[in-house]
Chains A and B, each alone.
Chain A
Amino acid sequence: MKRVFVTSSVLTLCAASTALSQDVPVNPLREAYFGNLHVHTAWSFDANINGAISGPDEAYRWARGEAIPGGGGGPDLKILRPLDWYSVGDHAEYLGALPLMADPESPVSKHPLAAAISGDDATASFAAYTEILDGISNRRNDPILGDPVLLASVWEKIIDIADQHYKPGEFTTFAGFEWTSNPGWRNLHRVVIFRDTENVSDHAFSAIESDREEDLWAWMDLQRVQGAELLAVPHNGNASDGLMFPIGTSYGGSDIDSAYAETRMRNEPLYELTQIKGTSEVHPSISPNDEFANFELWDYTLESTASPPEHKVGGYMREALIRGMALEAEGKGNPFKYGFIGDSDTHNAASTIEENNYTGKFGFENNPEHRLEGPPGVSEAAAQQVREFSSGGLAGVWAESNTREAIFDAMVRKETFATSGVRMRVRMFGGYDYAEDMMESADWLQAAYDGGVPMGGDLAAAPEGTAPTFLIAAMKEADGANLDRIQVIKGWVENGEQKEQIYDVALSGGRTDGSEPVGNTVDVADASYTNDIGAADLTAAWTDPDFDPAVPAVYYARVLQIPTPRWSTYDAKALGVDVPDGLPTSIQERAWTSPIWYAPE
């Protein structure tokens, strides 16, 4: 376990960064940089309890390709292909305090729960975990774990470690934390990151200070007044029981009006669409006509009883995107105008996004048996939750360079996309006078920027008699699986009613009818697939055939891969057992672009 904190010369490092930034390659047409900002290490209370042994320093080493200790009695963790950027976001609640329980110099070691937490007795650990989580949920601060001086010093160390690993142009890091509000086990969590480390808060705002999102935003606004630039990314609406995208009144008691919408959008431009605890783009019960809606769902609240949430509406992004436009039409502003990213939520320092290199969410899953049959000491219901974990997603960011500033600014303008973990790339632009054949030329990107808006943007009012054209290009991950199709998902509001329609705009293999599936080459017993089907890249210049200039609409693209083995299929092969009942043997990994919005004046 890493407990040695090195306060290196920050001044020296800053000077080195400045010198380096002059050599940073810049592409004005932007490159896709892949990374994660939702990464927990042994410094998060729940990660520590559940077997993580690697801290923030090891997390960054992992993202750059080094092997790090994986805990759980399992092997070291090593990514197959390194990431472009990474940001540790440990829970602000008792930040870093649990590893200090083992530090005799620290007052935390005198905590009555320290013994249970540091132990390898699963039952005692779970009991302690529940007790601490319960304290957080009920906003009781623990006097030792939550000591403000301690938290501030751990926060400083987290910032130092992020600085030590930042290499402009090659590898970007951010200072960040997670605000972990879960009233009644309903997930309202947000990860917060800062644009730079020169202007950051003096501590990480925790849900113990307040579990109302309005108070988090007020605190963020205060940091802005003091010179910081920061943003929050909410996640796991699927586990919020409808609280994430509230209807009528927020959990914090606000009316959903234009003031609420403005504050929310000023603070959180992006939503995390997919991660280990499932995908919250869409639920089949809300969008029954979406044949691809049933993808890596995780239909639980955070309650230890493994109960499904009663309210699906208010927990899934697509419905909220469209409802936001309805609210705007009523003059209440649009509080759900989100761009998309995918992310991890690993609690073991390594985001393990690679399906064939999945090592689980918690340290105790660092063993294929514990992933398929359940970690020792947990109930069958909890074991099923572990089997249903997804391998986690990735955030793709179209930025001019691999630097903090460029990546953060791309997030603010929502020029981002989510993937279910694969490194496929996708771009979308919307405009009114794009030529049908312009994507055939290699310089189409400049023309696309000049004549319209990239994903995350707003289309201006349509010129008389025209409909918007969307340019969409997708490329498979290098050395990855081929693509099945590109879809455009359109949502709009008609006479107060929320509507959605899915268009297949590019199909591989010469198909003209999207109801014809791409096929499936997965050999389950061998946990393998072939690229005999699908396409390496797909493009579409698609004009909305049903466009009504008087009706507000939102458009985003979804790109599907051909089927490939799910992580559980790889594990079953490694163990020589059958894939457990109820799990899909193959999945269609995918990417989602941030939306483009059309609103008539």
Chain B
Amino acid sequence: MTARTILSSPLLHFFVLGGLVFAIYGLVNDSPTVADPEAITLQPAEAGQLVARFTATWDRPPTEVELEGLMRAWALEEAQYREAVALGLDQDDSVIRMRLSQKMEFISEAGAATLEADDAVLQAHLEAHAERFAEPTKLAFEQVLLPADAGDADAMRRALEQGADPATLSRGSLLPTRLPLSAETAIDRLFGGGFARTISELAGSGWSGPVQSTYGHHLVRVIELRPAVLPPLEAIRPKVEQDWRSTRAREMREEFGKALLERYDVTLPSAGEILAK
């Protein structure tokens, strides 16, 4: 049984809880693994790791001089590391409290990584969170930005209907005269809020307008309107599965916290009384 599988069993969490806390606490507070501080020995296997690390970075093994330098640096690091442990920065209780609480949080959601979902579960998730997976309404259109004084919009529209090139009629600007199929939100980011919705109502009516944007008045011809659609599960299964798993991780964390609190008789003073003091 792997550690992951053990961790993924919610029932087991409660049995191991107490023991685990003390085991972790022991790791943090005692330093039984620190060897005789006088001896610093680099094992050949560990030296080999230094070589592998260097090789991975530079695509060649270190020279003898370089390896000697790496090993000396390692010894210095080791000495500093032991001193850091000896400093006892891990002795502060309030901090350890917080850290152990974070460990519990991790355990509570670790199981989500190994969860498997069948199609029915994912289909339900897809439907429950349609807004996350829906393909938005998309529009393709042409537009002509009218001169600042609006010009003769009717004459211009007639010219466009007779096949005039929009690019020769529009006033110069950074707005594209022809926009390929784009999401409503992307269109609004370009022309201002509400523009996509306004022109979507002009689909099928040829050159229309003037329509107002944040930059002025436009004549518009909608080329294509593709309504919003929720793709079938098989088309976006990996995305739905990933989203379902991260949602489950959050839920597991919350459920775990709730279950944990239920194991205790929690007594908290009244906030009003405390503040009144």
Contacts and interface: CB of A to CB of B under 8 A. Distances in A.
Interface string B105-144: 1110110110000000000000000001000000000001
A499 interface: no
Contacts, number: 197
A109 B103 contact: yes
A438 B176 CA distance: 16
Given A127-B89, A441-B167, A537-B173, 16 more contacts: A1-B102, A4-B249, A66-B132, A82-B189, A103-B103, A109-B103, A115-B90, A115-B92, A118-B95, A119-B97, A119-B99, A148-B53, A219-B57, A441-B172, A442-B170, A479-B193
Contacts of B190: 478
Chain A interface: which size bin? 35 or more
Contacts of B96: 115, 119
B57 A104 contact: no
A458 interface: no
B156 interface: no
Contacts of B181: 25
A4 B89 contact: no
A426 to B, nearest CB: 8
Given A112-B90, A473-B172, A6 B106 contact: no
Contact of A128 (B28, B89, B171, B249): B89
Given A222-B59, A475-B175, A25 B182 contact: yes
Interface string B38-63: 00000000000100110011110000
B71 to A, nearest CB: 13
Interface string B176-191: 1100111101101111
A3 interface: yes
B221 interface: no
A124 B145 CA distance: 60
A427 B183 CA distance: 24
Given A4-B112, A6-B245, A104-B24, A444 B172 contact: yes
Contacts of A475: 173-175, 215
B77 A141 contact: yes
B241 A8 contact: yes
A57 B87 CA distance: 36
Given A6-B245, A115-B92, A219-B57, A479 B3 contact: no
Contacts of A25: 180-182
B110 A13 contact: no
A221 to B, nearest CB: 11
Interface residues of B, number: 78
Given A3-B109, A109-B103, A442-B173, A140 B167 contact: no
A505 B51 CA distance: 59
B172 A104 contact: no
A544 interface: no
Given A442-B166, A478-B188, A479-B214, A203 B89 contact: no
A4 B175 contact: no
Nearest to A100: B106
Contacts of B7: 105
Interface stretch (B78-86, B201-209, B254-262, B263-271): B78-86
- Where chain B touches its partner, the secondary structure class is helix
A121 interface: yes
21 contacts: A4-B110, A5-B113, A6-B246, A8-B238, A16-B238, A27-B176, A82-B185, A110-B27, A113-B89, A114-B90, A115-B89, A118-B95, A121-B95, A164-B242, A170-B186, A202-B56, A475-B174, A475-B175, A476-B215, A478-B213, A536-B214
A222 B60 CA distance: 11
A13 B109 CA distance: 25
Given A104-B20, A222-B58, A115 B168 contact: no
A473 B99 contact: no
B215 to A, nearest CB: 5
Interface string A425-455: 1110000000000111111100000000000
A425 to B, nearest CB: 5
A439 B172 contact: yes
Given A115-B95, A140-B80, A536 B174 contact: no
A165 B85 CA distance: 41
Given A170-B183, A423-B189, A537-B173, A205 B28 contact: no
Contact of A105 (B3, B95, B171, B176): B3
Nearest to A144: B81
For the complex of A and B, 6 pairs with smallest distance between CB atoms? A25-B180, A119-B95, A442-B170, A102-B102, A443-B167, A118-B99
Contact of B192 (A8, A148, A479): A479
B176 to A, nearest CB: 7
Interface in B1-41: 3, 7, 20, 24, 27-28
B92 A124 contact: yes
Contacts of B76: 140
B232 interface: no
A31 interface: yes
B102 A442 contact: no
Nearest to A167: B239
Contact of B174 (A6, A104, A105, A427): A427
Contact of A101 (B92, B99, B172, B175): B99
A118 to B, nearest CB: 4
Nearest to B165: A443
Contact of B168 (A16, A203, A441): A441
A578 interface: no
Contacts of A31: 176
Interface string A213-233: 000000100100110000000
Given A2-B249, A148-B56, A104 B173 contact: no
B56 A203 contact: yes
Given A6-B242, A110-B27, A112-B84, A442 B167 contact: yes
